[in-house]
Every structure is written in C-alpha cells, then in structure tokens.
Structure 1
C-alpha cells in the first residue's frame, strides 16, 4: 500500500473522494451489493450434513447422554462407564470415516449439528441440553483423530457436576485442559441477541475485560509458537466470540479501546485492535454470527506468523536487508501453516492470515497462481490492519495522525484496498476516530469520544483545554449538533505525546 506522507489532513480534503456526484449512485450501490453478496456467501459456505448423518446424530446424543448418566451413577472404572465410552466412540468413528468432524452445540433449548438445528432431537434431549449448558460445555466438537482413550478421559467432562466446575479457577476450560483430549474441543456458547438491552456501564466494563482477555490469549499464543507447541482452537474461538459479543453490544465502547497502543508489545496490541476494527467493520455489513466469529479468529491470528520471526528482525529500527525483508514477507504463509495445523479453525479464518497483505489489486504478497480475488474477510482485515499499523509507534516508524491515516486509506481505495470497505470504514470511524486528540477551529483542544452517525467530520468530543492551552474542566459536545456546539468544527489531529496529554486520563 502506498504510504505517502503528503496526504490530506483536513476533513474536507479527506471527504472529497467520497462525494457521490450525480449519476454515481449506480456504481456505489453495485459495490455495496457486491460486498453483501460475498458476506452472505461466506456465512452460508459452511459444511452441511447428509440426511443419514443427521439421523445418526440422534444415536450420538443418546450415547452422550448414556455416558453422562453412567458417570453420575458409577465410579470411573465401572464396566458401565467403559461400555458407554465405547458406544460413543463407535458413533463418532462413523462420522470420521466419512471425512466429517462432529460439531455439537447446545444452546437455549436447542441442539445443533454444525449449523443445522435438530428440532426433534432438541425435544428428546432437553435434559442433556440443560446439563451441557449448565457445566459450560455448550459447544463440543469431536475432531477427526479422536481416539478411544480420549473419549475415556472426556467422560470426566461429560459427567462433571456444576459445583465441581464452578469450584475450578477457570471453570470448564481448566477441566478440559486437565483431561488432555486434543481432538475434542469444548467451550461455552454465547450469542448476542439484537433485542437484548445492556447497561452502557456494564458494556464498557465487558469491553475492557474482553480486551484484556484477548491480550492474554495473544501472549499465550506467542509462548506456544516459539516453543513449537500446538495452539488451542477452542480457546481462540471462545475469545473471538467474546469480541463479537462486545462489538454487538456496544460497538463504540470497543472502538474507543482500539486506540490503545503499546510500543513494547506492539504485535499483541496491534492484533487485538485489528480484531476490534475488523469486527466493527464486519458487523456494519452483517449480523451473521458464524461469519463474524470466523472473521474475529482470522483477525486475531492475522500476524501469528510474525511470532516465529527472529526478534532481532522484528524489532529492528533500521532498514531491513533483502534476506530480512524476505523473512518478514513470508509471515502470512508461515502464519497460515500454523493455523492449518490447528484443528478446528474455519477455512475463512485461515484465508485471512494468508491473504491480508495480498492487496485488492493482487499486487501484494504472497502471489497466488492462478490469481483469484482476495476473500471478503481478508479485505476487511487488510483495511483494519493498514489503519492500526499507520497509527501505531513501530520500531522503524513513528505513528501517523489519525486523519492522515484516513487520507492514506482513501488514496489507496481501489488499488491496495477494497473501495467499498474503505468507504464503510471511514463512515464508521469518522475522519477523526475515537481517542484522537484534535484542534478545534476555536483554538480549543479536545479528545474525540465517538463518531457521528450523520456526519463523519463532526464527532462527539470532550474539550480539555481552552484556546490559550490552559487545561479546563472537560466539556462534552456533539459537533454534529451545530447549534449546541456553537458552530465549532475540527481542524486537524494533534500528537498527544508532543502535547504531553494522556488520553486515558480524560476517558
């Protein structure tokens, strides 16, 4: 992507490429329809099971229920437990012989095989559904490669009591880790409904917790990768679902956090911010939970290939040699290889890792033969990745101001980046994104709190200093309300470090 420092800095200059003149509605509408169609295709492009496999699911559920009853009634070494384990394994093996993993979901009185609701079985196995939800095993996937020994160890999970799980620090995740069943993925299920009302304060606290949890995941991933150890797909997917939930509950609370930066842990913070920005952009296109979850996983893992790059190369402040640059350019392929070896990660997530530097015009890397367009999820991550990278302090470059970064995105729309997605991204964040320090035309200094849904150039701000630079008691104004804001407008972004302003203190 072109990284030109001579970029527009004022809102009217950034806005110009998006002025829709007479006769432009057709192309603009075509772009929106194209994006919508691709999102729908991805969301629907999940495995469907044959009628025979759906029918077999009833036997699977019966064997699972029998195993839970046996574990609750008899000691672990009782013959009834062993017989129940063998019966469950036999049914699982029948799916695996047909090349199918076995994903079960228990949620709100329903059981699903993959994405297919098993209506009759949901009535027949209502007690099993309640039991699995109560112990935090709402999602169970039997991956190909599952062994009889793993099923026997998994019996401890199936037979767990609620109080036993709750007594464990980490709950079900800790129990699953203890029993060591690498081919059986277990996690909780959480789906946000559009009609659920969440208190703003609670949503913000949830956003902070989710952000911190995702940071912790990325630190753990680096430890595992540098130690050549296998990643935990269930943990990654659970974290991605938490991000999706937070975005759907309060998008702007999460977007505000996406401005957090850390020079010392750039890769970790960058990956969390890219995930937030990608999901915010994705949720503006669709509410499909499956698509957003896969997008979240891909965004979290998009730079996982860098975690095996030599730290002296990764943190080098000067120009890279040709060999070092080749190593850096190889990180999407290296990351895709890591993800491909992690059972349980969706293909759409893997493709994000491979393609996020490929460019919309296919002029990036890696080059693919034969050429084919970037996946829609990859193009979403590419926009988020470009913006956060430009606005972050990196070993080899200083951060750009947020309005400058927006201008560069606009300049690269249609070449490096998908123009329809760039348009949506600018509309979503505004020309002056949350956490930006800005100069108003009155000479006052303010911090952007949230973008305006009606005018990208007029965000909601918190004024923190008067025209003479004197710090004042913060005043919140919505600049989109011209009368209430006294006609104020934003001139440009400012450098918080240069002005000795700690954004977090005021937010």
Structure 2
C-alpha cells in the first residue's frame, strides 16, 4: 500500500528504481506503479504494476480520484526491468500498448527473412545467407528480454505474398516470449528457429503457397513437404544446431502423434518445436488472409486450449493462457453486480479474476470516472463475457 505520510511536492528518489512522485507530476514522469494504491474504503484504485502510459485518456480521471481520496503522491518504478510480481499484476495490453518491439527491427527482420527465402528459391545456397537473419534474431531477443511483457508485437499482413515472411517474424516473437517464461537460456534459439521454421516453403510453388483459398488434398500434400525440405535447406546453408533443426522439421508434429512428417508424439518432439507449434498456430489464427478473417486473441487461446493434450503440449498451452488469462485485454465483461467493464490485464495465476476498467454502473449509467477494479481484491466476479472491444483496451 502507498504510504501517504511523506510531505513535500518534488520527486524524491527512494531506491535506485523507485521514486516518490507527486500526482501532478505523473503525466510527465510516467513509469510503473510500485505499490497498490488503496482508497479510504479499501478499494484498489491503481494496482501494483500499472503502467502509467497505459492509462491513456483515463489518466486525468484517475488523478482526480486520487486527489479526492487525499492521496498526493505515488511510489513509481522507473526501470527497463521491473519485478516479476509487478509485471504479473498488470500484463501490458497486447493490442493497445505503445511499448512494442522496435518497428525498424520488425521491418528489417521481415526483409531479411524474405531475402533468404528468395535466394533459396533461386538455388543460391551459401552460408552467408543466414548471417543477417541470425543477427536480427539476436536483436529481437534483446527486445523481448528488455520488455518481457511485450507479448505479440506482430505486424499484420497487408500483401498476401508477404504472409510467409511476416508470419515468420510473428512466430519468432511469440515463441521467444513463451520460452522466456519457461527457460530463458533458450530464447535465442527459439527466436532464430521461429524465423526459420517455414524455410522449406521457399521450395513450394508460389501458386500453391499464395493460393487465395483453401488447398486441395494434393496441394496440401505438397505443403506438407516443407518441414523436411526446410531441414535439408538449413543443413545446406550451414545450420547444424540440433534444436534449430528440430524446430524446422518438427513444428507440425502434434502431441498425440497425428502430426507430420514423422508422426512423433509427446516429449519425443523437441521442446522448442513444441513451443513453436503453439506460436505458429496462434499467429495463423489471428492473421488475416484473403480467404479468411482473423479471429481475436481470446478465441485463438480457446482453440489452443481445446487442442491441448492432442495437438499441443499442455505445459506450453498453459503458459500462453497465463499470459492472456481467460479474459485477455480488450474483453468486455459483465460483473456480478451488473456493472460492465473492459479487461486491461490478465489475472496472473488467477485466470478468473483480471483487472477490469469499469465503464458502466450497475444501474446501466455511464461511469463518469471509470475506475480500475482488481477482481482478486474484490467481492465482485465476472458473470458474462460480452465480446471484445478491439484494438483499444482503455
């Protein structure tokens, strides 16, 4: 809880990362709330871990509420690295946060993957081809490690013939995020493997690869050759790391043994390949294609959970679920008292009780001063899922 006993109006540094900040300075100071901010009646006004920048247009209303409660300052963390406890209490919104992977790194990564594929398509097989992709993988890893809650800073497809390259970047970013939560030592391999997982598609005829509609059975059989072809290409350009080769060959294997090319099952499938399988499927479901509309994140997570234990490693599926919660940011929910709000963070381990920005009062009136309600600290609960607000969660 914030200690309101301090006096004085200036910013004071309390520890190397935590500052005592007057509320009137929050709009320019930014940072992350370091302790729960509690009202006089015990309600959570701002949960620990709240990113000031994520309050957006609501910040002025929050400041007014703090002033009305007699709170004249907050303890704020200012650091690229924050405690896991703080992060878990307020997951950055994957659809509204400005703290995304650097756009130039994203563009360069996609361009280098595209260049590699085009070279392989024209039979230019040299070890030098992989160097720039490996360098971009390292830069992408740095972004993921610096902001471990930046979940899916994904580029959406604008040209159908670029889908494979953008999808490779997205899969790498998602896989790196998941592995960072499971075994941080393997993040770089996960990212590089994600960038290269569809390498074999460089040898798939473009009329099949970019077909604007469902594939025939014979066309799908051609597509199913890409893991083996990709592994062969990777070896030819000098990739010999067994974990990377496993990702390329095994990312379409399935937990129950119904995948391809080898019909492996369970833990006989490489760990990183099992992670990339989840990342690959998640991005494919949430991407727009000429023959299908994207589904939103909640539905994609639900689909992966449905296939957990058959298609996907249950442990990896759970990491994805914990990252989003049952109600990912942007979910519109009705609470047990009849009020309506928008989920702005997951519930951490308690998937049923996220942090909600209440916008509609129990009597149906619009809340003039929307408040953040941490359901883990409230008697209220979610009784109904009403939909998804889209790209703004605040």
The two structures share one fold, judged by TM-score above 0.5: yes
State yes or no: 1:218 paired with 2:218.
Answer: no
State yes or no: 1:313 paired with 2:208.
Answer: yes
Look up the SS of the partner of 1:362 in the other structure.
Answer: coil
Deviation at 1:376, TM superposition (A): 0.6
Counterpart CA distance in 1 for 2:364 and 2:114 is: 40
Q: Is the 8 A contact 2:100 2:153 kept in 1?
A: no
Where do residues 56-71 of structure 1 align in structure 2 (5 Å cutoff)? none
Q: Is the 8 A contact 1:198 1:249 kept in 2?
A: yes
Look up the SS of the partner of 1:261 in the other structure.
Answer: coil
Equivalent of 1:234 in 131, 151, 162: 131
State yes or no: 1:421 paired with 2:303.
Answer: no
Deviation at 1:287, TM superposition (A): 2.3
Deviation at 1:240, TM superposition (A): 1.6
Look up the SS of the partner of 1:257 in the other structure.
Answer: coil
Where do residues 63-462 of structure 1 align in structure 2 (5 Å cutoff)? 197-198=79-80, 204=99, 207-230=102-125, 232-253=129-150, 255-258=151-154, 260-264=155-159, 265-288=162-185, 291-344=186-239, 346-367=241-262, 373-434=268-329, 436=330, 438-441=332-335, 444=340, 446=342, 449-460=344-355
Counterpart CA distance in 1 for 2:198 and 2:345 is: 28
Give a deviation string over 1:362-413, Cα, whole Å, max 9, x none: 2111026999811111011111112222222233333233222222222222
Counterpart CA distance in 2 for 1:248 and 1:407 is: 27
Question: Greater CA radius of gyration, 1 or 2?
Answer: 1
CA 1:368–1:452: 2 relative to 1, 3 Å: closer
Deviation at 1:282, TM superposition (A): 0.8
CA 1:224–1:461: 2 relative to 1, 3 Å: farther
Counterpart CA distance in 2 for 1:251 and 1:476 is: 26
- The CA RMSD over aligned residues, in Å, is 3.8
Q: Is the 8 A contact 1:402 1:493 kept in 2?
A: no
TM-score (norm 2): 0.63
Q: Could you say which residue in structure 1 is the equivalent of 2:7?
A: none
Counterpart CA distance in 2 for 1:243 and 1:250 is: 11
CA 1:370–1:473: 2 relative to 1, 3 Å: closer
Q: Is the 8 A contact 2:152 2:170 kept in 1?
A: no
CA 1:492–1:368: 2 relative to 1, 3 Å: same
Give a deviation string over 1:142-198, Cα, whole Å, max 9, x none: xxxxxxxxxxxxxxxxxxxxxxxxxxxxxxxxxxxxxxxxxxxxxxxxxxxxxx952
TM-score (norm 1): 0.50
Look up the SS of the partner of 1:360 in the other structure.
Answer: coil
Count of residues in Structure 1 that have an aligned counterpart in Structure 2? 297
Q: Which runs of 5+ in 1 are unaligned?
A: 1-195
Counterpart CA distance in 1 for 2:353 and 2:167 is: 27
Counterpart CA distance in 2 for 1:261 and 1:473 is: 35
Q: Could you say which residue in structure 2 is the equivalent of 1:148?
A: none
Deviation at 1:320, TM superposition (A): 2.0
Give a deviation string over 1:6-44, Cα, whole Å, max 9, x none: xxxxxxxxxxxxxxxxxxxxxxxxxxxxxxxxxxxxxxx
Q: Is the 8 A contact 1:267 1:303 kept in 2?
A: yes
CA 1:451–1:211: 2 relative to 1, 3 Å: farther
Deviation at 1:456, TM superposition (A): 2.6
Deviation at 1:445, TM superposition (A): 6.4
Counterpart CA distance in 1 for 2:103 and 2:113 is: 16
CA 1:310–1:457: 2 relative to 1, 3 Å: farther
Q: Is the 8 A contact 2:254 2:264 kept in 1?
A: no
Give a deviation string over 1:443-470, Cα, whole Å, max 9, x none: 7564x55433242344456678999999
Q: Is the 8 A contact 2:239 2:245 kept in 1?
A: no
Give a deviation string over 1:317-367, Cα, whole Å, max 9, x none: 433223211111112122222212122452211210110101112211102
Deviation at 1:224, TM superposition (A): 2.3
CA 1:327–1:206: 2 relative to 1, 3 Å: closer
Give a deviation string over 1:420-457, Cα, whole Å, max 9, x none: 221222112322345x45444467564x5543324234
Q: Is the 8 A contact 1:362 1:374 kept in 2?
A: no
